[in-house]
Amino acid sequence: MLTMFSVKGKVALVTGAAQGLGESMIRLLSEAGAHVIACDINEAGINRVAAQIHTDFPDASCEPIKANVTDNADVARLMDYIAHHYGQLDICINNAGVLERGPIEDMSLQAWTRVMDVNVTGVFLVSKYAAQLMIEHQRGGSIINMSSMSAQVVNVPMKQAAYNVSKAAVSMFTKSCAVEWAPYGIRVNALAPGYIRTAMTGPDFEAGGQFEPLLDWIPLKRLGEPADLGGATLWLASDASKYVTGSIVAIDGGYTLI
């Protein structure tokens, strides 16, 4: 049974890999034996992640590649490189994302567009070219998109309408892709995390932090950790979930249940 969860030898692409959840997924897949491409617009960040991976796991295969997920030509070049150097793409994780907070009436068009470009258009472009590669080279694969519990609920008191809308779009895009690409053996699912501790957001949830009261709304009474996404990620990336597609997997400590 455990062999069904194996990703050893598979080729995996993770976007938004320079920090946070993306870095955690890079570590997970590298440790599990996948050949990992760490993609981010932050070249210094992905170089740091790859170097740390090779230090922690000397036998790991982790290659950093700079790319802008909102640039059509850049994404096309990235996939051409993967096809030429690896010959396949088994796992694609669309993790790149940005967040803008503030009242809707004060939000600039530039801020709105930035969120939509990265969180929606970026997922579209990477998924599109990943599917083309998967169809041509192996007629199969797993695409995992990063949605959010914010696709389902409005995070009061946080004012982040653009982010919420973008993640709702990611959830519906995931379902649409799952139906269209099922005949090719490509499964498309999404993770929907709740509040996850990162270097940027963690302090806000500590004692006295501005968001500490929100912990009372989480049935498990704690923040999620980046590693808490690991099991679901490995499950969706592997053959253990080979009959699962179009699912939005909540990893929110039960927040959206109440």
Give the span between the Cα atoms of 136 and 130, in whole angstroms: 10
H helix and E strand count, the chain: 7, 7
Number of domains in the chain: 1
Residue 188: per-residue pLDDT: 98
pLDDT tens readout for residues 107-145: 999 999 999 999 999 999 999 999 999 999 988 999 999
The reply to whether 257 falls in a domain is no
pLDDT for 201 beyond 90: no
CATH number, residue 152: 3.40.50.720
Q: Match 């969706």 to its residue by tokens.
A: 236
Is 163 one of the catalytic residues? yes
Q: Give ∠ CA 127-167-163 in degrees, rounded to 5.
A: 125
The reply to whether 115 falls in a domain is yes
The reply to whether 84 falls in a domain is yes
Catalytic residue among 163, 195, 243, 255: 163
pTM (2 d.p.): 0.96
> The domain containing residue 211 runs over which residues?
2-251
DSSP string, 220-253: T-S-B-GGGGHHHHHHHHSGGGTT--S-EEEEST
From the list 71, 85, 59, the residue with the least C-alpha distance to 129 is 71
Q: Match 């592997």 to its residue by tokens.
A: 238
